[in-house]
Structure 1
Amino acid sequence: MSPSRAALLGILCMLGGVFFGTVLDVAIKFLSSGYALHQIILIRTLVAIAILVAIVLRQDGDFRQFRTRRIGAHFWRTMIVMLSNVCFFTGLAAMPFADALAIAYVAPLLITGASALFLGEKVGPHRWGAVIAGLIGVVVMLRPGAEAIQPAAILVLLSSVCYGISQLMTRQMRETESTVTLNIYLHVGFLLISLVMGLVAGDGRFLGDPDSTIAFLFRPWVWPPLPDWPILIVTGISVAVAGLFVSQAYRLAEAALVAPFEYLGMPLAILAGVVVFGTWPDATAWAGIALIGGAGLYVLWRETVHRSVKDPATPVGGDL
């Protein structure tokens, strides 16, 4: 596959991952008032594993894609992603939907900078400019002030750091691990951790203050009523599809290229806030959307149009 085609496919995979990731966030935010986070993770993981197994059986008819010699790397990646999930969804449960997503979108900037420092990927001034413009859009959305400094916001920021580390690990593991392999070991890890959490805290013994920021972690498990099952199943479908798309994006293209496209999830977050949670954006919010969306679209234009016209053979990341 040519570098330019790989870059385009990587971008498209990231856009698909952002969409399904937003669906996942909406579903978990919707469920967060009635369930423990580890119960939701258990159910969504069972659905996701079933989907991944079905994909593998349809492709190969056996489980050869699940073989790996890097079980240690999968273990640490799973721990980091799990910490990111716990921090993000705990913060999300206690914050307005769009505010939490806005804070989370510092992650692409962290990935871009770290890819230059630790992976040796070239990050040119145009790409840096686009990422910084997206970050400014996030700042606009945040309206920095005293209200932003709260435990839930700190949890979301910590989640972003962990997410950035996990995606750099995905980039490093791409030569030996397939997209399915990266995801199946992640979900098996989630399954084991959520089962342990259920055994330890599933009876609600550690709940304490039910209105605290971390109450989402320690609620007792309950049997979901019938109307909630479709939403719970959607979380599993969304996490499986989003994980496949995002892992493939970081396998196909440089982290510094695809990371800014995560900013395009911000308009989706605003739309979800309006439609699902009744949170309407004001003029400041729309200014942030314009900066964030514009930054991602600029990178897309420069990568797929401007550079290909100038020199189709230029390696990915060569002059961006």
Structure 2
Amino acid sequence: MVTIASTAAVATKLASSQASTEAIVTVQYLICLLLCLPITLRPGLHNLRTRKAGLHLFRGAVGVLGFYLFYAALDNIPMVDAMLLRQSAPLTVPLVVWAWSQERITASSWLPLIIGFIGVGVILRPSAEGLSWWHAGGFLSALCLAISMVATHKLAPTEPASRILFYYFVLSLACVAPFSIGDFSGLDWQIWLAMLYVGVAIYFTLRLYTLAYSLAPAHHIAPINYFAVVLGGFWGWLIWGQVPDAWSLLGSALVIAGGLLTVYLARQRHASVR
């Protein structure tokens, strides 16, 4: 699933040479919706009934904003930086949970958070001229992803996965499609092919993530996500000749260290509960 996600990022960056971010995101969600429909409607139309329309709408809006910011960052900064910032989402989840539910952040969680956010700060490259705004957009996409994760967790007790994905695709498509009108004329067939691939790849990535989290604890799966950063660096070097500088490497090391420490502490807490 990590490999598929990284190739979707490559296709997005290739498509952005002609297509607008709005067009890419619109095609992505349209393809995802079409692929999701048979599974969602198989039990019947009653599977669409929900009492949490507001939370579905909020999750959809935040999700599409996250993808928009990520794709915009991909088009303007090295791929390894964009993917690393996107993968920093787990670091912000405790802060989102605290802001949303007022759940206390445990003392052991602060060390990995501090390490990870120092790494994010290094990648953002603050200077006398200010922040690198495209890098900041990449980090905001991670924050949106973290909010989406928490919203999904709150939906999961009463909403089946197929319904969550269906409303996510429908509402996200409704949010972005009006802004893409007029952006599809004159695109080469290679660009259309890249956008179609992005939609298919994102759909199967989401399905595989759902399956993986149903088969194993989150703290067992999370470390695999950081392999996407390595793949992002590889594709960036192979296709665009992008070589991470010392700041990117240092920031990446700190973010990954913070993320893996978070995973390790979660595993320890899980073992102690058992």
Determine if contact 1:115/1:121 at 8 Å carries over to the other structure: yes
Unaligned ranges ≥5, structure 1: 1-15, 203-219, 316-320
Secondary structure at 2:115's aligned position in 1? helix
2:78 is matched with 96
1:280 is matched with 243
Unaligned ranges ≥5, structure 2: none
Q: Deviations over 1:138-196 (max 9, x none)?
A: 34444443576244334334333333322221121111112221111111123333432
1:40 aligns with 2:24: yes
Secondary structure at 1:94's aligned position in 2? coil
Secondary structure at 1:222's aligned position in 2? coil
Match of 2:167 among 156, 164, 185: 185
Determine if contact 2:14/2:191 at 8 Å carries over to the other structure: no
TM-score (norm 2): 0.78
1:25 is matched with 9
Specify whether residues 195 and 134 from structure 1 end up closer, same or farther in structure 2 by C-alpha distance, changes over 3 A only. closer
2:49 is matched with 67
How many Å separate the matches in 1 of 2:237 and 2:266? Answer: 32
1:163 aligns with 2:145: yes
Q: CA offset at residue 270 of structure 1? A: 1.8
1:206 is matched with none
Match of 2:185 among 199, 203, 222: 222
1:113 is matched with 95
Specify whether residues 234 and 296 from structure 1 end up closer, same or farther in structure 2 by C-alpha distance, changes over 3 A only. same
Q: Deviations over 1:62-96 (max 9, x none)?
A: 45543322222212221222222223322332223
Determine if contact 1:111/1:255 at 8 Å carries over to the other structure: no
Residue correspondences, number = 274
TM-score (norm 1): 0.69
Determine if contact 2:69/2:137 at 8 Å carries over to the other structure: yes
Specify whether residues 114 and 75 from structure 1 end up closer, same or farther in structure 2 by C-alpha distance, changes over 3 A only. closer
Determine if contact 1:103/1:138 at 8 Å carries over to the other structure: yes
Q: Which has the larger radius of gyration?
A: 1
Determine if contact 2:84/2:252 at 8 Å carries over to the other structure: no
